[in-house]
Amino acid sequence: MLHFGSCGVHTAETMTAHDRHQLRLGLSQTLPLILGAMPLGVAYGAVAIQAGLTVAETVMMSLMVFAGASQLMAVMMLQAGASFPIIVISTFLVNLRHLVMGLSLSPYLSDVTPRWQRVLAFAMTDESYITSITHYRGQGDGHRSPYFMLGSGGGMYVGWLLASCVGALVGRSVSDPLAWGLDFAMPATFLTMLLPQIVSPRLVAVVTVAAVVSVTAYVILPGTWYIILATVAAVITGMALETHESRRAET
């Protein structure tokens, strides 16, 4: 079995005790969020089957795309008769937030190889991101083990894949999986991740602006523009407040 080490590729036998500890720690700290996301995975699998995908196609999408809520959105749009370009553009816009997430993680993983970075980028979800960045911020200065994020993202990957399989297998026997309230699991999970991160007045302001912009755009604009606009508004607000605080500290 191969693993991606800081100097390239090496065998599992060369993993240190610290690497194995970080791998297990990343998995264990993400486990509650994995369980919270699995109902959405079941809903995705069921809706995909009802949209006309086969079990193999449904599972292959999770294997190769691994985009969580974007997968559910894509198959719902497919079921509604949306064209392929519209589905691609919509999911692309929804996942633009990963650029911001990746940028915020980059200072902690700047010394890992490009191969490691590609693996971690594929495995990054909202859940593994918030778990990993919270862990890395608490480590102080020095090297951050990529094995922690691998355990976190790998656990999410396996959990989502299993849930997709279950949903695909029972899809034709469930008339409307979203009527069970399974789609509420993801917003609830996001709120669980968000609330502990609001630890300063600046973060309160950023979250408030993002919430107001998101709800307003959702009511006024069609499609998924509310996600993009809320992200942009949050970034601008955070940068403005941070610049203001830096200038005050200098005077």
Q: What is the mean pLDDT of residues 50-62?
A: 92
- Looking at the structure, do residues 125 and 138 belong to the same domain, yes or no? yes
Range of the domain at 92: 2-195
Tokens describing residue 209: 């602006």
Task: Tell me the pLDDT tens digit for each residue of 62-111.
Answer: 999 998 888 888 888 888 787 888 888 878 877 877 888 888 888 888 88
Share of the chain above pLDDT 90, in %: 27
User: Minimum mean pLDDT among 37-51, 129-143, 192-206: which range?
Assistant: 192-206
Q: Do 54 and 169 reside in the same domain of the chain?
A: yes
pLDDT in tens, 27-39: 999 998 898 888 8
Shared domain check, 223 and 110:
no
Residue appearing with tokens 């993680």: 105
**Amino acid letter at 218?**
Y
Q: Residues 41, 162: one domain?
A: yes
Strand partners, 5: 8
Secondary structure of 165-219 as H, E, C letters: HHHHHHHHHCCCHHHHCHHHHHHHHHHHHHHHHCCCHHHHHHHHHHHHHHHHHHH
- Of 175, 195, 215, the last residue of a domain is 195
pLDDT value at position 161? 95
Is 41 exposed, middle or buried (CB count within 10 Å of its CB: 0-12, 13-18, 19+)?
A: buried
DSSP assigned state of 53 = -
Same structural domain for residues 231 and 177?
Answer: no
- Confidence check: pLDDT of 173 > 90: no
In this prediction, what percent of the chain has a pLDDT beyond 70?
82
Mean predicted confidence (pLDDT) in 147-170: 94
The pLDDT value given to residue 8: 45
Q: Residue 6 above 50 pLDDT?
A: no
The helix or strand, by DSSP H or E, that contains position 107, with its residue range, turns out to be: none
Cβ(160)–Cβ(37) below 8 Å: yes
For 8, list phi and psi in degrees, rounded to 5.
135, -135
> What is the chain's percent helix, strand, coil content, to nearest 5?
80, 5, 20
pLDDT-based confidence at residue 7 (cuts at 50, 70, 90): very low
Give the mean model confidence (pLDDT) for residues 240-248. 77
pLDDT in tens, 179-227: 666 556 666 666 766 776 677 788 888 889 988 998 998 899 876 677 7
pTM: 0.74
Where do we find the tokens 């999408």? Answer: 61
Please state the domain count of the chain.
Answer: 2
Q: 107 and 180 share a domain?
A: yes
Can you give the pLDDT at residue 212?
A: 93
Query: Averaged over 15-25, what is the pLDDT?
Result: 90
- CA distances in angstroms from 61 to 8, 33, 50, 88, 232, listed in the order given: 29, 21, 15, 13, 29
54 and 107 housed in the same domain:
yes
211/136 same-domain check = no
